[in-house]
Structure 1
Amino acid sequence: MPLVEVSNLTVAFSGTQVLHGIDLTIEKGEAVGLVGESGCGKSVTWLAALGLLPGKATVGGSVRLGDQQLVGASRTALENVRGSRIAMIFQDPSSSLNPVIRAGRQIAEAVELHRGLTGKAASFEAIRLMELVGIPDAVRRFDNFPHEFSGGQNQRLMIAMALSGNPDLLVADEPTTALDATIQAQILDLLISIRAETGMAIVFISHDLGAVSQVCERVCVMYAGRVVEKCSTETLFRQPRHPYTRGLFDAIPRLDGGRERMVPIPGTVPQPGRLPGGCAFAPRCGHTSELCHNSLPQLVSLGDDRAAACFHPIGDSTIVPAPHTVQTKQGVTVS
């Protein structure tokens, strides 16, 4: 049984659908990357799984943590999962830490909540976690406020707080976005070492393919609320098959060789509720046919460990058969 199994997960805000049937499995102890441009649904997927979306959100499908169903679970059941079974590190630690409570005390509160320790025992465990994530002189800095730490150290504090409940899965949502390159590398090394030490699984959400390659064994590429390609990291970096994935690689700046202009993906991600008929990436793609504009490609196996949602995968002269149901340009689904 997978640690987490996401099946046909859908999310709509006030009637506008933003996730369109996400299927994803996380095995015990593995690291999986979710990549894609901003707005593709990476973070929403896990906020929905943990019941952290606002009340106007409508969530459908299934998210199973072992044999426990999270979609539609009670508030009490979800509170018992958050932190103790699945912990999440958010993008901006400065907005997640309380600026008027001492940093060590915030970690100690998480220890008290998830582990049942109190008083000095909780404080000693908080100091141990601060040392684990590389906060120097943790005993003295226990009483410092968040503004007295650097941005990288605040991110380490968030990781320490996430580890306070010994979670089975750590969801790291863009944990290196606001950090410089040296601190980014330190945070990535920290996640790798903590995973090796604790055996927890990691979901690493990022638009940085280089960071994903260091942390993850498997990658899911998302676009416009759908998974468009998934496979092992090694396979993806050897030969991306979906045109969108290829576009992400082409837009990465290169440090070797001469100076070359980066190749951007033309256009922009379509807004939810304004998706084109057929493949959502078709207006930005250079590998389209009439089929792409009229039919919605499904995620199908391309052999080995790879699946892609594309009628014309790169490096393949064949055309993936169209599904039995077809979405027309007017948005009407017919058989």
Structure 2
Amino acid sequence: MSAKTSSLVEMRDLKVAFDGVEVLHGIDLDVAHGEALGLVGESGCGKSVTWLAALGLLPGKASVTGTVRLEGQDLSAAPRTVLETVRGKRIAMIFQDPSSSLNPVLRIGRQITEALAIHRGLTGAAAKAEALRLMDMVGIPDPRRRFDQYAHEFSGGQCQRLMIAVALAGEPELLIADEPTTALDATIQAQILDLLGTLQAETGMALVFISHDLGAVSQVCERVCVMYAGRIVEQGTVDQLFSAPRHPYTRGLFDAIPRIDGPRRRLIPIPGTVPHPRELPQGCAFSPRCPNATRFCETKRPRLLLQPDGRSLACVHPVEPAADDTHRTEIFEDTMQ
């Protein structure tokens, strides 16, 4: 593997527990330089916790074990002073609710220039000029006039663009977008997704996109990890997962997507709910909801194993490709247009 495609971030056996209850069960994950990785799954499956743990942002009651390496540098055992040189500078994170991330009593310009001062040492006229450039880059109209406005004077979509500008201030090598379009309407969602794709192409940074929206993931990501109950259950390229999902949970996510065109079909919901971390089944966590589950699944937990087609899968009774899987390819192609 060349230096250009080598791993930027490596996670090995990352585990997180709150008050003695394990919620993340040994995550192994690599993010390459410049790649776009999607994390999908229901609420509570551990998508956000994975990266909050990696950056040391979980509360003190959380117990974190395992290793997280940034180009060989171990972040899991690093002191706070070292982590502060990584957060914002090398790894930046934007969240789904910009209104709770922007300071309501500070002007927008000051918030961006503050990030520039901390991460790049820019002050005065140089910082203002760079802040205006970032505002223009993320699509804020008339940035010079709006530089001295407050967050409440911007729309929800513009606030999310400003959060992206703050995140880009440190010129990060990795941007983690934690459901950045959830609080936005459909039109603004599409604009933000286009912006993330454009920025990644222009800057060469890696992107981790956390979302419930499979369509959004297909638009900006090259590779996808599907998480369930604190574990990765399937991992592969966007094309692989959208054309032929193999894990019953991944298949269930696609079956629940309504189609706008074509014949009307009854949606197939995934029965039941995600188990509470205190009450996980002895075997596969998805077995109580899985149509393919056997007694073996109820007692033995499958490992995430590499498959002949290059994907990774944690299932002993995977879904076999069927003729009706073609509609998943159509969804993928329609989304990418």
Q: Is this a same-fold pair by TM over 0.5? A: yes
Give the % identical residues. 70
Counterpart in 2 of 1:123? 128
CA RMSD of aligned residues (A): 0.9
Counterpart in 1 of 2:33? 28
For 2:168 and 2:18, how far apart are their aligned partners in 1? 31
Counterpart in 1 of 2:9? 4
For 1:123 and 1:261, how far apart are their aligned partners in 2? 55
Unmatched runs of 5 consecutive residues or more in structure 1: 317-335
Deviations 1:142-198 (A, max 9, x none): 011000000000000000000000000000000000111110000000000000100
> Could you state the TM-score of these two structures normalised by the residue count of structure 1?
0.93
Q: How far 1:93 moved relative to its partner?
A: 0.4
Amino acid corresponding to residue 217 of structure 1 in structure 2: E
**Paired residue for 1:167, among 145, 163, 172?**
172
1:179-218 to structure 2, matched below 5 A, reads 179-218=184-223
For 1:155 and 1:66, how far apart are their aligned partners in 2? 29
Counterpart in 1 of 2:57? 52
Unmatched runs of 5 consecutive residues or more in structure 2: 1-5, 322-337
Amino acid corresponding to residue 215 of structure 1 in structure 2: V
2:67 paired with 1:62: yes
Q: How far 1:302 moved relative to its partner?
A: 1.8
For 2:278, what is the secondary structure of its paired residue?
A: coil
Counterpart in 1 of 2:333? none
Q: How far 1:273 moved relative to its partner?
A: 1.6
For 2:77 and 2:99, how far apart are their aligned partners in 1? 31
Counterpart in 2 of 1:222? 227
Q: How far 1:274 moved relative to its partner?
A: 1.0
Counterpart in 2 of 1:321? none
Q: How far 1:264 moved relative to its partner?
A: 1.2
Amino acid corresponding to residue 270 of structure 2 in structure 1: I
Counterpart in 2 of 1:82? 87
Q: How far 1:91 moved relative to its partner?
A: 1.2
How many equivalent pairs are there?
A: 316
Amino acid corresponding to residue 135 of structure 1 in structure 2: I
Amino acid corresponding to residue 105 of structure 1 in structure 2: R
For 1:265 and 1:250, how far apart are their aligned partners in 2? 9
Amino acid corresponding to residue 251 of structure 2 in structure 1: R
Q: How far 1:57 moved relative to its partner?
A: 0.4
Q: How far 1:258 moved relative to its partner?
A: 3.5
Q: How far 1:276 moved relative to its partner?
A: 1.0
For 2:306 and 2:206, how far apart are their aligned partners in 1? 25
Of residues 250-259 and 13-22 in structure 1, the stretch that sits farther from structure 2 once superposed is 250-259
1:90-101 to structure 2, matched below 5 A, reads 90-101=95-106
For 2:277, what is the secondary structure of its paired residue?
A: coil
For 1:97 and 1:273, how far apart are their aligned partners in 2? 35
For 1:310, what is the secondary structure of its paired residue?
A: coil
Counterpart in 2 of 1:16? 21
For 2:227, what is the secondary structure of its paired residue?
A: strand
Deviations 1:117-148 (A, max 9, x none): 01121111111100000000000000110000
Identify, as 1 or 2, the structure richer in helix.
2
